[in-house]
Amino acid sequence: MIQDLKKLFGSTLEEELLLEINQVATYKEISEGNKILEIGEYIRSMPLLLSGVIKILRQDHDGDELLLYFLEKGDTCAMTLTCCLGHTKSQVRAIAETDVSLVMIPIRKIEEWSGKYKSWRNFMFNSYHNRLNEMLFTIDTIAFLKMDERLLLYLEEKARISEDGIIKNTHQEIAYELHTSRVVVSRLLKKLENLGKLELHRNYILMK
């Protein structure tokens, strides 16, 4: 684990801090599609992503979901940080978008390292800043973009994460994450295919 930490954070976090993370953090590997964090759970530790992608979702009172943002290697979750420091229940759901490896850092160490290591404080501030910008972007797309524009941005981000341009989500799964209906998604996907933006296949979508 220490080699992964040094590879990702060696230029931004002190070696002494990396050694401490290696000593106290719990290493985990989670398969694609598995739930990492559920809404309503108390958070006892903060995730630090070493590889893979995690999606962060919000849920309304009817059980419908909305994708807030993705976490990639080197990221942590601002919503998780807030709950950790405030000792409150999680307001989001975290699911492995791909196979992931991560380390879970105990709550007690988050504040301790903030006072001890300047690099850790900077990392925390940057994480808050990045996640806030991503949530503002999500709000902007909902408020100012048409659904076909939102769908295309969503698919482009999914294709970037998959690295091969292939999106294996069903139309229903896409509808859940964009908080719309499957019928709307299917209609707009066909429209985007006619525009030459993608190809629809039986079990996947190929972005061009």
Give dist(CA 161, CA 55) in Å, integer: 11
pLDDT of residue 34: 96
Per-residue pLDDT of 176-204, as tens digits, reads 999 999 999 999 999 999 999 999 998 99
* Cβ(28)–Cβ(104) below 8 Å: yes
Q: Give the pLDDT band (50/70/90) at residue 65.
A: confident
In terms of domains, do 107 and 174 share one?
A: no
Same domain as 106, residue 160: no
Residue 75's pLDDT is 93
Query: pLDDT (tens digit, 9 = 90+) per residue, 105-150?
Result: 998 898 899 899 999 999 989 998 998 899 899 999 999 999 999 9
Q: What is the CATH number of the domain that holds 76?
A: 2.60.120.10
Domain extent at residue 139: 2-143
pLDDT surpasses 90 at 62: no
Low-confidence winner among 25-29, 44-48, 99-103 (lowest mean pLDDT)? 44-48
pLDDT band at 80 (very low <50, low <70, confident <90, very high): confident
Give the Cβ contact number of residue 19 at 10 Å. 13
- Band of the pLDDT at 74, cuts 50, 70, 90? very high
Pair (86, 186) in one structural domain: no
The CA distance from 14 to 19, in Å, is: 9
Q: Is the same domain home to 102 and 13?
A: yes
Is residue 34 domain-shared with residue 126, that is, in the same domain? Answer: yes
75 and 166, same domain (yes or no)? no
101: amino acid identity, one letter:
S
Residue 174, both tokens:
């896409």
Question: Nearest-CA neighbor of 134 among 47, 199, 76?
Answer: 76
Which H or E element spans position 137?
helix 118-144
For residues 31 and 78, state if they share a domain.
yes
Is residue 83 predicted with pLDDT exceeding 80? no
135 and 178 co-located in one domain:
no
Closest listed residue to residue 12, CA positions, set 162, 127, 129, 99: 127
Q: State how many domains the chain has.
A: 2
Side by side, the strands of the sheet bearing 93-96 are: 35-37, 93-96, 54-59, 65-71
Please report, rounded to a whole number, the percentage of residues in the chain having pLDDT higher than 70: 99
33 & 95 share domain: yes
Alpha helices in the chain (DSSP H): 2-9, 15-24, 78-86, 107-116, 118-144, 147-162, 171-178, 182-194
The predicted pLDDT at position 73 comes to 93
Shared domain for 72 and 105, answered yes or no, is yes
Whole-angstrom distance, CA of residue 142 vs CA of residue 16: 43
pLDDT band at 95 (very low <50, low <70, confident <90, very high): very high
**Cα gap 141→3, rounded to integer Å:** 38
**Phi/psi of residue 180, each to 5°?**
-140, -170
24 lies in the same domain as 41: yes
Whether the CB-CB separation of 92 and 58 falls below 8 Å is answered with yes
- Specify the CATH number for the domain of residue 193: 1.10.10.10
One domain, residues 115 and 154: no
Alpha-carbon distance 9 to 7, whole Å? 6
